[in-house]
Structure 1
């Protein structure tokens, strides 16, 4: 705010006087941080209950008589703004001051602490205690008010709420441009691309259901906001996290804008090529470990159905053979199984404003086809079907497989391309050692699709039988020698020298799984010989116990 705006605001607050969302203090430099935290909790909770966007704690104003007297609280700017971190560390859930305004009033220095309203359904505590206001007094948050906040209906769409302090300057230019292109593509048969690209920004945002009468909403910021605009959504972290688990571990957080960063997260996933050898064939079928469309469908579903008032992040965990997608909130309508066949349309959404905007930008559909398309996509790739886990309260977890579980199942899909989805669902459960209804057992057995006795059913050997020597599922496409040579060179640059055992440890798990251990060792021997002959490395040890170093 400008000094003039701050002065006008201060005059309005003084004229109104102290109430449930306004508190005046003279406050010297030794004013207790704990007291500030208690007022923060009280004013935030009361702002929520009174549907106000914020509360105000004002230093440098005496209440009786009500006048500006000035305050020397934390004169140094960096000390003053460190209060934000102190507040965030001791509030639950973690939330902090929206802004700290300093006004050099003619009668003295005034500090206006702008306190955000508690999120709908979530009261704010300071060091484990909830506070409220009784007129001008700070008191404990009573059970009646605590219940009122906690029982606030979810019918209020968090994603539709207007952020009055946000402007068009808070939007990411590239995200806006890509959003225009996506919108134009969706409506290409009705509106020319040139027309869409030439609309004023405010017009486009309204037409794409991202804003309300030109006003920025939480949906606008979630999908198109700049990274630094995330504070408008506090205390929600507005974040997706990619996490790699296994022999190697890594992670990366992705914030706003979600419209661009879902693709950025997908690009972090190790999406190698796999080769599947069909029965009695010499040429393998190549498929990518993960299909981009399926991964983005799953990630976009997490965004659309996330329960944002729970202040959690979306997590994508990459394991060696599968991806796990997790988002906050129960499955909102029905159960995942009801959407697999593609004939159920949801009647309502947790975040209707957000889902409508995402549909306008071609991120999702609103007919309930997303789960059906993911299942069909996995069938076409001969991979296991996704698994949903709803056991964890207030959360949904979905596993997307990136490899073969049972070779017989995959070969079954290759050979019998006309299997109905209901049969494939049952066969998928069989390969995962899960139970199926007795009537389905009878159906599959009659069709000759399964064998064995209950509960040890398996895919029929009559169709998928093949000698073990022909089963060759290659987890990674073999790299050329230059790739492996570079690994050796990089190792020697870092450590100076390496024994044959150390080089084996470096390369063995990088080589194609199509090779057995003996073939892998031969491959490494040939690689080292070629590198020595080309003058890249030298053996400073013996022939029996070589020690490899980079050639000078």
Structure 2
């Protein structure tokens, strides 16, 4: 696992939840209870179980002598759950801790220990409820696009869509025979024909308008253009109920009709950046068709505005995918459709395509793809066309050249999140510590008050040295000096006043500063607890 001290300290500041559990276990810990925790955490998506640390904030590293034979424990875990668990001894302040890295269960398969599928509720371990089990079992429901459509026949397929399938597949594979092989052989090769019967994937990708209207009327894409977000009625509307491969180019052409160009100066040159990047839009459309829930009756909607494009498709995110992990988690709801897109070269793999959308958005100085309006019933993606911060992009290019860095998508999104002040998720840990070590990101504060900012070099590059100082914040000595100065001005001060003196600190952080000043003999507390006040000593 190669745990770093920074990563360990980050864990210490986090609240316990599904993917993180702390246990003191100074002397020992019950073997069966450990197995139950591993089972529960794996059932909840995987995470870390850490021994030798108190579970209440602020946490203390107390050290643990539990499970000295942890290599045997690893073997027991593998034999019991048939998953590979990692266990590592980590010494912090000279005290031994034991860190279990717990993988997620397989899709659709809950784990059991002693015939019970364990889960956690607050501090308790309980058997999974029927609702939880049903949700897990539903993860492995059959691929809708691979299911046979009993009443569909070859004549239900659109000639233009078939033509496009042939040419795309031939170009991607380099096999000219795709252009002329019999239709039945073509469909069998694409796995759209199973035992001489068409599946729903064939209908969604290749179906005629009449066939879709009869057999799958919700396989429809509706395009609307509005001159502003406040417009009630659309200035243009197009309804497409036909196989996607017949219209995939038309959809882009329609969007591109109103795709304004922004001119960005780079030294002596001017770079033209369209509001809507073709690669990003195509990925978003492919995702909508691949991941929508065809059991639901709604249509895919494309809503275009001058500087905003919104794509909404029925059904929430596929199981295990969230707006926070969409860069890394792959679970196409309609795998057969994704595989055909891959054969045609429309997508690189049967995944999300989100990484490409995020990368292009950052490289064109635009806002990140926004999924925040999504819910259980639909995925809503908003793509902003306006140029946001060219200087930030230039800084990334400068650092890339200086340090010979090839930015990963995780790097770029992490830097954008920090730049915009967006809360970081655990999925960024590896990139975060790597960029801290490269002096591209700086750490300010400790414990629950820790925050991450772009390096001093970034603000110097922008000519915003004052902004850097403000975001970096005051060191401990400066904070103490401000508290003392406030007490000097008013002779005495109540605790709540200090929130205004140093805004942004938690109550615990303020208490620690005051305790430190009292220990140094500089201040003292007088009066009862609620009505008392601090004075200089």
TM value normalised by structure 1: 0.49
Choose from 197, 204, 220 the match for 1:222: 204
Q: C-alpha distance in 2, partners of 1:446/1:161?
A: 51
1:388 partner SS: coil
Aligned counterparts of 2:303 and 2:190: Cα–Cα separation in 1: 32
2:439 maps to 1:447: yes
Residue 196 of structure 1 pairs with residue 178 of structure 2: yes
The answer on whether the counterparts of 1:324 and 1:399 sit within 8 Å (CA) in structure 2 is yes
> Who wins on radius of gyration, i.e. which is larger?
1
- The equivalent position to 1:238 in structure 2, one of 219, 222, 226, is 219
Q: Secondary structure at the match of 2:141?
A: coil
The CA deviation string for residues 338-368 of structure 1, in whole angstroms up to 9 with x for no partner, is 453xxx573x542233322332333334443
- Return closer, same or farther for 1:255/1:423 CA change in 2, 3 Å cut-off: same
Q: What SS class does the counterpart of residue 286 from structure 1 fall into? A: strand
Is 2:250 aligned against 1:284?
no
The separation in 2 between residues aligned to 1:336 and 1:328, in whole angstroms, is: 16
Equivalent position of 2:392 in the other structure: 409
Change (3 A) 1:243 1:313: same
Q: Could you tell me how far 1:433 is from its partner in structure 2?
A: 4.5
3-state SS of paired residue (1:389): coil
Q: 1:449, 1:463 within 8 Å by CA — same for their partners in 2?
A: no
Give CA-to-partner distance per residue, 1:158-193, whole Å, 9 cap, x none: 3233333332222111111110111112221xxx31
Distance in 1 of aligned mates of 2:332 and 2:436: 37
Change (3 A) 1:450 1:381: farther
Aligned to 1:88: none
Paired with 2:225 and 2:442, the residues of 1 have a C-alpha distance of 36
* Separation of aligned partners in 1, 2:396 and 2:382: 20
TM alignment of 1:81-96, pairs within 5 A:
none
Which residue, out of 245, 248, 252, partners 2:238? Answer: 252
CA separation of 1:212/1:284 partners in 2, compared to 1, >3 Å: closer, same or farther? same
Which of 226, 247, 262 is 1:274 aligned to? 262
Listed one character per residue, the Cα deviations across residues 66-121 of structure 1 (whole Å, up to 9, x for unaligned) are xxxxxxxxxxxxxxxxxxxxxxxxxxxxxxxxxxxxxxxxxxxxxxxxxxxxxxxx
The answer for the alignment partner of 1:335 in structure 2 is 322
CA gap of 1:365–1:283, structure 2 versus 1, over 3 A, is closer
Matches within 5 A, 1:443-522: 447=439, 460-465=458-463
Give the whole-Å Cα distance in 2 for the aligned partners of 1:422 and 1:267: 31
Distance 1:318 1:464 in 2: 34
Equivalence for 1:294: 280
Contact 1:274 1:289 in 2 (8 A): yes
Indicate how the Cα distance of structure 1 residues 163 and 423 shifts in structure 2: closer, same or farther if over 3 A, else same: closer
1:53-452 to 2 correspondences below 5 Å:
155-188=141-174, 192-193=175-176, 195-234=177-216, 236-247=217-228, 249-250=234-235, 251-269=237-255, 270-278=258-266, 281-332=267-318, 333-340=320-327, 344=328, 346=330, 348-368=331-351, 370-389=353-372, 391-417=374-400, 418=405, 419-436=407-424, 447=439
1:372 is displaced (CA, Å) by 1.7
- Contact 1:210–1:217 under 8 Å retained in 2: yes
Distance (whole Å) between structure 1 residues aligned to residue 224 and residue 341 of structure 2:
25
Report the Cα distance in structure 2 between the residues aligned to 1:426 and 1:229, rounded to whole angstroms. 46
**Could you say what secondary structure the match of 2:295 adopts?**
helix
Alignment CA distance shift 1:399-1:412 (3 Å)? farther
For 1:285 and 1:378, the matched residues in 2 are separated by: 15
Computed over aligned residues only, the root mean square deviation of the Cα atoms, in angstroms, reads 3.6
* C-alpha displacement of 1:218: 1.7
Alpha carbons 1:227, 1:255 under 8 Å: kept:
yes
Match of 1:510 in 2: none
Take 2:271 and 2:382, find their aligned partners in 1: how far apart are those partners?
Answer: 24
Aligned residue in 2 for 1:5: none
How many residue pairs end up in the alignment? 307
Q: By how many angstroms is 1:210 displaced?
A: 1.5
Q: Give the deviation of 1:222 after TM superposition.
A: 1.0
User: More deviation in 252-261 or 293-302?
Assistant: 252-261
Report if aligned partners of 2:436, 2:442 keep a CA contact under 8 Å in 1. Answer: yes
SS at match of 1:405: coil
Task: Please tell me whether the aligned partners of residues 239 and 314 of structure 1 are also in contact (alpha carbons under 8 angstroms).
Answer: yes
SS at 2:269 equivalent: coil
1-side partners of 2:425 and 2:192: how far apart? 46
Contact 2:339 2:350 in 1 (8 A): no
Do 1:345 and 1:367's aligned partners in 2 also have CA atoms closer than 8 Å? no
